[in-house]
């Protein structure tokens, strides 16, 4: 199948190419240059994160001192205990809100897109061409024109300051349907024909044959949907108002606004906000990265 | 299972033609949930934005009288406060896009070419460079607001220790503010673009490189005659999504520079949200979003055209 998610496995031919290269005497210097470049780059990416971590373990005095130390002189959990015990800063609630919203959004996107994409790829019905043309046409509409109308609709529905305002409107995008339809088109008709011969109806064929086959594409879409919801900043800042409804981005902005001079507190907040995604990322980074790559190359 | 015989009949040849003309409910059941949301949150909004932009619709007005192109005329007239602030935001958006897009296209490409070499631990480096992206804009904003603080931020403290000044107001002055926003954005998102490039690079057939090598071509010729043409489609995609993402920049300017100095780093989309959602000036903000959207479409069209040209000269 040509549709499998790209992997980082090098091809055998490349392997040989590298080896013939390696035989030349010029080999050593490029290797050292490569090592130095990688070292410098990795430092550039990792050091800011280390500074975030180390500052979160500093006392307020040390975090705000004019002599900077990479590691805290007297490591303390004071920033963490302050942030976790302050009812004005319900950061765990914000974290939970963000995770809940991102997961619900992701599930909604995947379910709706998979159903619609399957019908558009594999079934015959009236208006099919018109519906697909409309979906594709809106893919070129820049997101900014939806901002004010979405606010009006969410307001009309009484959804301001609710999870629904974050989960639903952005789930109607055309990309998921377009992306999964491409995949379903690639599923050979004979596989489904066989399933139908075995007594599967349309729904069972979809559930037991098409969806399992499309799993790589569905996973890609899920990753992209999760990340876009997790990253959303402008919309939650403007449509959520009560403190306990905030998502992490909106809550952290509020934290920054109210504690401008407390870098220990802000960095502790940033660390708490980073931990869950970083943990998931460490275990699933391969799938997350491959998913994004597949979305980009095939999209 | 009652459906079995029906399904068998449907899948057999002769009935197919009449079948597709008839009204079968299953396909519509599959499409309906998505379509309902699609109509409510995509089709209706496009119409609503256009409709609202032609009406005077704001807080305190009892109804929404039709005013034609007055909202647009007002914005293009350039005298009202709204117009001045809007174009200031458009300028900020344009400047940020202009500064960040070339770097966000080229730096990740260099990174991807580097990661496309074969060396141990490649997957680890790829993961490390992508990591900032998963943290989200809020954490990145908080972090860089701290790192770039004039007095206490590590960046200035390190510069001071090295004897390189170290009194730059990264977040509150210009042009340092733009350097801060572009720099933090590159740090945050360049792994994302690099991963997309890398996937494309791994699909380039090795034989093509071998052919250039046999012809005596060096690394640069391999890059221009094999790499670039092979990834042209993905390059175009990356340019397009990067322009769109940069033109929608809001979080960084809200959190890192807090739109300072004054409101100089407030982007157009930030001003549109403020005008429409906080100020409930629906008519004007809708006209603004349509102006921004059309400008974006023009720019995307130009990018598409530019790539067509490149493709033509190749063939």
Distance from CA of A85 to the nearest CA of B (A): 21
Residue B61 confidence class, pLDDT cut points 50, 70, 90: confident
| pLDDT beyond 60 at B16 | no
Question: What pLDDT does residue A25 have?
Answer: 52
Q: Are residues A177 and A275 in the same domain?
A: yes
| pLDDT beyond 90 at B113 | yes
- Is A143 contained in some domain? yes
- Is A71 contained in some domain? yes
Residue B280 near chain A (CB below 8 Å)? no
Q: Are residues A68 and A110 in the same domain?
A: no
A146-182 confidence digits (pLDDT tens):
999 999 999 999 999 999 999 999 999 899 999 999 9
| pLDDT beyond 70 at B217 | yes
User: What are the boundaries of each domain within chain B?
Assistant: 43-313
> Which of B15, B139, B266, B303 is most worth mutating to test chain A (most A CB atoms within 10 A of its CB)?
B139
Q: Are residues A71 and A139 in the same domain?
A: no
Q: Are residues A72 and A114 in the same domain?
A: no
Whether A289 sits inside 8 A of B202 (CB atoms) is no
- Is A156 contained in some domain? yes
**CA atoms of A170 and A163, how far apart (whole Å):** 12
Residue B110 near chain A (CB below 8 Å)? no
Residue B311 confidence class, pLDDT cut points 50, 70, 90: low
**CA atoms of B36 and B160, how far apart (whole Å):** 59
Give mean pLDDT, residues B125-132. 93
Distance from CA of B186 to the nearest CA of A (A): 11
Q: Are residues A255 and A136 in the same domain?
A: yes
B-chain residues near A289 (CB < 8 A): 126-127, 130, 195
Residue A73 domain boundaries:
34-81
**CA atoms of B263 and A297, how far apart (whole Å):** 38
Residue A261 near chain B (CB below 8 Å)? no
CATH number of domain containing A178: 1.10.3720.10
| pLDDT beyond 70 at B8 | no
Closest chain B residue to A7 measured between Cα atoms?
B199
Selection from A290-294, B84-88, B203-207 with the highest mean pLDDT: B84-88
| pLDDT beyond 60 at B299 | yes
- Is A1 contained in some domain? no
Nearest residue, CB atoms, A148 vs list B21, B114, B285: B285
Q: Are residues A122 and A230 in the same domain?
A: yes
Tell me the pLDDT of chain A averaged across its residues: 86
Of A21, A52, A81, the residue that ends a domain is A81
Q: Are residues A60 and A95 in the same domain?
A: no
Whether B203 sits inside 8 A of A288 (CB atoms) is no
Sign of the C-alpha dihedral computed for residues A98, A101, A103 and A106 taken in this order: negative
- A243-247: list long-range contacts, CB under 8 Å, 24+ apart: A243/A88, A243/A90, A244/A90, A244/A93, A245/A97, A245/A161, A245/A162, A245/A163, A246/A94, A246/A97, A247/A94, A247/A97, A247/A98, A247/A101, A247/A166
Of A81, A113, A139, the residue that ends a domain is A81
Give mean pLDDT, residues B234-261. 92
Nearest residue, CB atoms, A144 vs list B142, B146, B289: B289
**CA atoms of B180 and A236, how far apart (whole Å):** 24
Whether A202 sits inside 8 A of B127 (CB atoms) is no
Whether B273 sits inside 8 A of A197 (CB atoms) is no
- Is A192 contained in some domain? yes
Of A49, A81, A113, the residue that ends a domain is A81
Residue B23 confidence class, pLDDT cut points 50, 70, 90: low
Which of A 190-209 lie inside 8 A of B, CB atoms?
A: 193, 196-197, 199-203, 206
Does the predicted TM-score (pTM) go above 0.90? no
Give mean pLDDT, residues B101-130. 92
A204-244 confidence digits (pLDDT tens):
889 988 999 999 999 999 999 999 999 899 999 999 998 89
Distances (CA, A) of A63 to A258, A270, B8, B116: 17, 15, 73, 40
Give mean pLDDT, residues B294-304. 91
Q: Are residues A63 and A124 in the same domain?
A: no
**CA atoms of B134 and B147, how far apart (whole Å):** 19
Q: Are residues A200 and A114 in the same domain?
A: yes
> Which of B51, B199, B222, B234 is most worth mutating to test chain A (most A CB atoms within 10 A of its CB)?
B199
Residue B248 near chain A (CB below 8 Å)? yes
B-chain residues near A49 (CB < 8 A): 131-132, 143
pLDDT tens series, chain A, 299 aa: 344 444 444 444 444 444 444 445 556 777 888 889 999 999 999 999 999 999 999 988 888 877 777 888 888 999 999 999 988 889 999 999 999 999 999 999 999 999 999 999 999 898 999 999 999 999 888 999 999 999 999 999 999 999 999 999 999 989 999 999 999 998 888 888 888 888 888 888 899 889 999 999 999 999 999 999 998 999 999 999 988 999 998 999 888 888 877 899 999 999 999 998 999 999 989 889 998 998 887 64
Closest chain A residue to B194 measured between Cα atoms?
A293
Nearest residue, CB atoms, A46 vs list B33, B128, B278: B128
Residue B64 confidence class, pLDDT cut points 50, 70, 90: confident
Which of A 159-178 lie inside 8 A of B, CB atoms?
A: 168-174, 177
DSSP-assigned letter for residue A164 = H
Whether B114 sits inside 8 A of A45 (CB atoms) is no
Question: What pLDDT does residue B310 have?
Answer: 67
DSSP-assigned letter for residue A161 = T
* Contacts A–B by Cβ distance under 8 A: 316
Using a pLDDT cut of 70, give the percent of chain B over it. 90
| pLDDT beyond 80 at B201 | yes
- Is A10 contained in some domain? no
Give the list of residues 6+ apart from residue B65 with CB closer than 8 angstroms, or none. B55, B56
**CATH architecture designation of domain B43-313:** Orthogonal Bundle (1.10)
| pLDDT beyond 70 at B237 | yes
Question: What pLDDT does residue A64 have?
Answer: 81
Q: Are residues A161 and A229 in the same domain?
A: yes
Residue B266: Cβ within 10 Å count: 22
In chain A, what's the furthest Cα-to-Cα distance? Answer: 76
Question: What pLDDT does residue B313 have?
Answer: 53
- Is A2 contained in some domain? no
Distances (CA, A) of B255 to A227, B101, B138, B140: 19, 20, 7, 9
Closest chain B residue to A115 measured between Cα atoms?
B30
* Domains of chain A: total: 2
Tell me the pLDDT of chain B averaged across its residues: 87
Whether B38 sits inside 8 A of A153 (CB atoms) is no
> Which of B13, B34, B44, B197 is most worth mutating to test chain A (most A CB atoms within 10 A of its CB)?
B34
Q: Are residues A272 and A166 in the same domain?
A: yes
- Is A7 contained in some domain? no
Q: Are residues A110 and A248 in the same domain?
A: yes
């Amino acid at each position: 199948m040509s549709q499998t998610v790209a992997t980082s496995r090098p091809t055998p031919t490349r392997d040989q190419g590298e080896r013939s290269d390696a035989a030349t005497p010029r080999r050593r210097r490029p290797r050292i240059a490569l090592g130095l470049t990688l070292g410098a780059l990795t430092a550039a990416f990792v050091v800011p994160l280390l500074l975030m971590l180390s500052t979160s373990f500093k006392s307020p005095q040390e975090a705000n001192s004019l002599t900077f130390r990479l590691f805290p002189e007297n490591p303390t959990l004071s920033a963490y205990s302050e942030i976790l015990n302050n009812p004005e800063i319900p950061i765990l609630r914000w974290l939970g809100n963000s995770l809940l919203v991102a997961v619900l959004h992701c599930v909604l996107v995947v379910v709706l897109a998979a159903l619609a994409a399957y019908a558009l790829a594999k079934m015959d019905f009236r208006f099919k061409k018109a519906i697909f043309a409309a979906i594709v046409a809106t893919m070129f509409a820049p997101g900014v024109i939806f901002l004010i109308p979405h606010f009006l609709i969410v307001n009309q529905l009484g959804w301001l300051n609710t999870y629904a305002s974050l989960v639903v409107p952005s789930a109607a995008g055309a990309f998921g349907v377009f992306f999964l339809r491409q995949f379903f088109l690639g599923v050979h008709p004979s596989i489904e024909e066989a399933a139908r011969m075995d007594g599967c109806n349309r729904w069972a064929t979809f559930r037991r044959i098409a969806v399992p086959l499309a799993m790589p594409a569905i996973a890609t879409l899920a990753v992209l949907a999760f990340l876009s919801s997790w990253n959303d900043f402008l919309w939650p800042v403007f449509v959520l108002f009560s403190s306990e409804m905030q998502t992490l981005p909106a809550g952290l902005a509020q934290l920054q606004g109210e504690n401008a001079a407390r870098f220990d507190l802000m960095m502790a907040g940033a660390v708490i906000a980073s931990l869950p995604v970083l943990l998931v990322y460490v275990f699933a980074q391969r799938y997350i990265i491959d998913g994004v790559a597949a979305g980009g190359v095939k999209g | 299972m009652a459906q079995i015989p029906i399904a068998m009949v449907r899948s057999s040849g002769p009935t197919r033609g009449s079948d597709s003309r008839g009204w079968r409910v299953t396909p519509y059941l599959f499409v309906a949930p998505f379509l309902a949301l699609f109509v409510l949150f995509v089709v209706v909004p496009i119409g609503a934005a256009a409709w609202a932009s032609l009406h005077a619709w704001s807080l305190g007005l009892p109804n929404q009288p039709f005013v034609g192109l007055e909202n647009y005329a007002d914005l293009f007239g350039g005298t009202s406060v709204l117009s001045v602030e809007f174009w200031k935001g458009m300028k900020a958006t344009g400047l940020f896009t202009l500064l960040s897009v070339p770097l966000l296209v080229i730096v990740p490409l260099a990174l991807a070419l580097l990661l496309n070499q074969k060396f141990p631990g490649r997957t680890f480096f790829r993961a490390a460079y992508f990591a900032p992206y998963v943290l989200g804009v809020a954490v990145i904003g908080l972090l860089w607001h701290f790192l770039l603080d004039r007095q206490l931020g590590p960046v200035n403290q390190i510069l001071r220790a090295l004897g390189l000044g170290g009194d730059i107001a990264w977040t509150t002055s210009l042009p340092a503010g733009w350097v801060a926003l572009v720099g933090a954005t590159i740090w945050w998102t360049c792994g994302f673009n690099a991963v997309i490039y890398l996937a494309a690079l791994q699909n380039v057939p090795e034989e093509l490189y071998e052919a250039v090598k046999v012809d005596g071509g060096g690394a640069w010729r391999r890059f221009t005659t094999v790499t670039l043409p092979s990834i042209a489609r993905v390059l175009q995609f990356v340019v397009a999504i990067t322009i769109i993402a940069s033109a929608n920049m809001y979080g960084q300017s809200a959190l890192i520079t807090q739109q300072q100095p004054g409101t100089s780093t407030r982007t157009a989309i930030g001003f549109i949200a403020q005008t429409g959602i906080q100020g409930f000036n629906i008519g004007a903000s809708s006209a603004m979003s349509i102006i921004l959207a059309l400008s974006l479409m023009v720019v995307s069209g130009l990018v598409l055209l530019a790539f067509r040209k490149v493709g033509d000269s190749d063939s």
